[in-house]
Chain A
Amino acid sequence: QSALTQPASVSGTPGQSITISCTGTSSDVGGYNYVSWYQQHPGKAPKLMIYDVGNRPSGVSNRFSGSKSGNTASLTISGLQAEDEADYYCSSYTSSSTWVFGGGTKLTVL
């Protein structure tokens, strides 16, 4: 149950697009289309932003999109806004009927 691999930090300026990667194995990311992405602001509970690789829950801005290729999933945020500054975590269902999270990526909006 090794954690999925994410970059520790990414940054961008307002209006730009950024992409956060999430690398796993064929037993998790690569084996299932069950990758989710979460946004977490300091002191708050995580918020689901993307599920099943590329689906957005009701109420989530269409500036957030997800994709997957092989063992790597990606979250793209377009039209970056100041309120997007937060920590982002990926998660995947696994072949062991469990879940695994990534180590998290801190997004800074410059």
Chain B
Amino acid sequence: EVQLVESGGGLIQPGGSLRLSCAASGFTVSSNYMSWVRQAPGKGLEWVSVIYSGGSTYYADSVKGRFTISRDNSKNTLYLQMNSLRAEDTAVYYCARASPSSGWYGFEYWGQGTLVTVSS
């Protein structure tokens, strides 16, 4: 069974750093396209970042230069390192898998989300 479990969220002051983790089971992270998607309170979904199976990474303009996506193949875990956090980064962060069974470009599996609150 495919499972994605995020952790690492919490309350952080503006300008601070946080690292989110997404532990995967039932499949191999490094063989799939893995993304982070966020949702600010009461707002819509916003795509944040992707790491492709080949290792290439891409980011939304809103986080470029501040966030870094990575994976640890030995732990089958996805990460999002978030630096220089701003109030507008406050959101529930989901990790999501785009899989062959969804044509590679649809996010078929999602975690439960982890809340990041940036506030002084």
List chain A positions with a Cβ less than 8 A from chain B.
1, 3, 32, 34, 36, 38, 40, 45-48, 50-52, 55, 57-58, 87, 89, 91, 93, 96-104
List chain B positions with a Cβ less than 8 A from chain A.
35, 37, 44-47, 50, 52, 56, 58-61, 94, 101-103, 105-108, 110-113
- Contact status B44-A52, CB under 8 Å: no
- Contact status B107-A36, CB under 8 Å: yes
- Contact status B50-A99, CB under 8 Å: yes
- Contact status B58-A45, CB under 8 Å: no
- Contact status A102-B106, CB under 8 Å: no
Q: Which residues of A contact B112 (CB under 8 A)?
A: 45
- Contact status A104-B44, CB under 8 Å: yes
In Å, the complex CA distance between A32 and B101 comes to: 18
Q: Which residues of B contact A45 (CB under 8 A)?
A: 94, 110-113
- Contact status A97-B47, CB under 8 Å: no
**Which of A36, A58, A102, A104 makes the CB contact (< 8 A) with B105?**
A36
In Å, the complex CA distance between A58 and B99 comes to: 13
Looking at the assembled complex, report how far the CB atom of A71 sits from the nearest CB atom of chain B, in whole angstroms. Answer: 17
- Contact status B107-A46, CB under 8 Å: yes
Looking at the assembled complex, report how far the CB atom of B36 sits from the nearest CB atom of chain A, in whole angstroms. Answer: 11
